[in-house]
Amino acid sequence: MSETISLRSMDSSHVRIGVIGAGFVGGAFVRSLLDPERQVALVDAATTTLEIVGVAVRDLSKPREGIPAALLTDDAVTLVTRDDVDIVVELAGGLEPAKTLIELALRRGATVVTANKALIAEHGTALAQLAHEHEADLLYEAAVAGGIPILRALRSSLAGEKINQVLGIVNGTTNFILSKMTQDNVDYDAALAQAQALGYAEADPTADVEAFDAAAKVQILSSLAIGTALVGESISREGITAVRALDVDFARRSGYVIKLIGVVERAGEHGVSRRTHPALVPIDHPLASVHGAMNAVFVEGARSGPLMWLGQGAGGEATATAVMGDVLLAARNRVSGRHDIPFSVDDRLVSVDVADLSSVFYISLDVIDEPGVLAAVAAVFGRHKISIQSMEQNGLAHDARLNFVTHEARTSDVTATLAELRTLAAVESIGACIRVIGGEA
């Protein structure tokens, strides 16, 4: 372990910042901090002067609008280990070298601000502990829902509240795709192509559409809302690639809208469910009106009741505002010689397997249109104790599509039902099995 050099004795009337990364978020953050028109307000909010002493990038030859060349370096290790750097702002992303760079900074007592959800979801508890051991802060407001200040709200304003449930639309790309499918009646591929053309989705959209990004954000929300550890535990994750235009249409006709939601929910005394999956959301639920690339987080507190935050969950400028808020807090903390204690982890909490949870489900089957098929399908539901709330049948030449909405059913029973339905000769395909939030109609 490298030697700790205390920064507390240094001149706190001037705070020096080293930035790793000058991409979408890093570039916006650096330009914002260097903006002469903002200087007075920033110094006022920080209660000290702020100076960027270096910006580490991978490729020094890339043009960097608004960032003086003299600040740029391709040697991030030297930047984070400079003993005059008080705050390291990590905006490179990925697990490595971000983790190593952050550890180097924390070990010498520098504060770290990061937007790196993947890293915090995987190693957040250990990094927070390391920060605490070295009397430093580790701040990551921008890691969840970009510009929405939800983490500080959970950590501070709601610190004394028992949070029973968090529901979030925490991935802008998938919300854009599902909104396009809903509003323009297009299929998944066409909506994804539009998201890519507009720069919301990356050329490889896996992290967004398979819900890896949302799952990392759910982990972070859960740690602050309920007290779970940030140790890279895998949580139940289902993306949006299987959502079809006709599911979106069924939802619309039935008074719902399909959203990719992240869920943190208490289950019993010490149980907690963390998951992300598409869901039919009733149109009168506050999350149903969150369109396009916007994010929203809905929190149900035992005493506060329902609360909701809405805003831009991505984009360089919006995300950089959250980074700036953390940097100003870090600067104030350095001036006052304080640092945050790590968030507490409730060791009694146990993850509840999604198979044991109950929900209302929308299930869509394509079947052969013959006498007795509906009775055979209904018998399978019945054998697994699944009660049907509604059913519609649409003719498809010689076939038929059966759309069911169940009453509350245990997920493991639904899984067993689908497995048995697949064995019926009359069932050609199972097109959808999507949870309905909000319980019974």
Cβ atoms within 10 A of the Cβ of 418, count?
Answer: 17
Torsion angle of the four alpha carbons 78, 83, 89, 92, in this order, in degrees rounded to the nearest 10: 10
**Closer residue to ligand HSE in complex, CB, 213/300:** 213
Cα-flanking dihedrals φ and ψ of residue 263, to 5°?
A: -125, 135
d(CA 246, CA 363): 12
213 binds ligand HSE (CB under 6 A): yes
**Closer residue to ligand HSE in complex, CB, 26/313:** 313
The single-letter DSSP state of residue 62 is S
Mind telling me the catalytic residues? 217
Determine the residue type at 63: P
321 binds ligand HSE (CB under 6 A): no
**Closer residue to ligand NDP in complex, CB, 54/301:** 54
| From the list ligand HSE, ligand NDP, none, partner contacted by residue 59 (C-beta under 5 to 8 A by kind) | ligand NDP
208 binds ligand HSE (CB under 6 A): yes
**Closer residue to ligand NDP in complex, CB, 199/306:** 199
Whether omega before 36 lies within 30 degrees of 0, making that bond cis, reads no
Residue in the shown chain whose Cβ atom is closest to ligand NDP: 23
| From the list ligand HSE, ligand NDP, none, partner contacted by residue 173 (C-beta under 5 to 8 A by kind) | ligand HSE
For residue 103, the minimal CB distance to ligand NDP (Å) is 14
| Tokens encoding 54 | 């270096």
| From the list ligand HSE, ligand NDP, none, partner contacted by residue 434 (C-beta under 5 to 8 A by kind) | none
CB 163 within 8 A of CB 300: yes
For residue 213, the minimal CB distance to ligand HSE (Å) is 5
Residue from 48, 125, 171, 312 in contact with ligand HSE (CB under 6 A): 171
The single-letter DSSP state of residue 157 is I
Cβ atoms within 10 A of the Cβ of 411, count?
Answer: 18
d(CA 155, CA 157): 6
Among 430, 312, 428, 313, CA closest to 367: 428
Contacts to ligand NDP by CB under 6 A: 20-26, 56-59, 62, 76, 91-93, 97, 115-117, 142, 146, 314-315, 319
Among 283, 236, 235, CA closest to 259: 283
For residue 54, the minimal CB distance to ligand HSE (Å) is 25
For residue 427, the minimal CB distance to ligand NDP (Å) is 41
294 binds ligand HSE (CB under 6 A): no
d(CA 317, CA 109): 28
Segment near ligand HSE (CB under 6 A), from 167-175, 177-185, 266-274, 388-396? 167-175
Q: How many residues bind ligand HSE, per CB under 6 A?
A: 7
Residue from 21, 109, 168, 172 in contact with ligand HSE (CB under 6 A): 172
**Closer residue to ligand HSE in complex, CB, 293/360:** 293
417-421: which pairs have CB atoms within 8 A and are 24 or more residues apart? 417/380, 417/381, 417/383, 417/384, 417/386, 418/363, 420/380, 420/383, 420/384, 421/365, 421/377, 421/380
**Closer residue to ligand NDP in complex, CB, 58/338:** 58
61-69: which pairs have CB atoms within 8 A and are 24 or more residues apart? 64/22, 64/27, 65/27, 65/31, 66/27, 66/30, 66/31, 66/34, 67/22, 67/27, 67/30, 67/31, 67/34, 68/34
Cα-flanking dihedrals φ and ψ of residue 166, to 5°?
A: -125, 125
Residue from 173, 228, 312, 364 in contact with ligand HSE (CB under 6 A): 173
For residue 142, the minimal CB distance to ligand HSE (Å) is 9
**Closer residue to ligand HSE in complex, CB, 136/170:** 170
Segment near ligand HSE (CB under 6 A), from 171-179, 256-264, 296-304, 353-361? 171-179
Residue from 192, 257, 314, 323 in contact with ligand HSE (CB under 6 A): 314
Among 178, 184, 187, CA closest to 211: 178
**Closer residue to ligand NDP in complex, CB, 74/184:** 74
DSSP string, 107-122: HTT-EEEE--HHHHHH
| From the list ligand NDP, ligand HSE, none, partner contacted by residue 131 (C-beta under 5 to 8 A by kind) | none
Segment near ligand HSE (CB under 6 A), from 94-102, 127-135, 168-176, 395-403? 168-176
313 binds ligand HSE (CB under 6 A): yes
For residue 98, the minimal CB distance to ligand NDP (Å) is 7
d(CA 378, CA 373): 8
147 binds ligand HSE (CB under 6 A): no
178 binds ligand HSE (CB under 6 A): no
d(CA 433, CA 441): 17
Residues at the site binding ligand HSE, with contacts judged by CB under 6 A: 171-173, 208, 213, 313-314
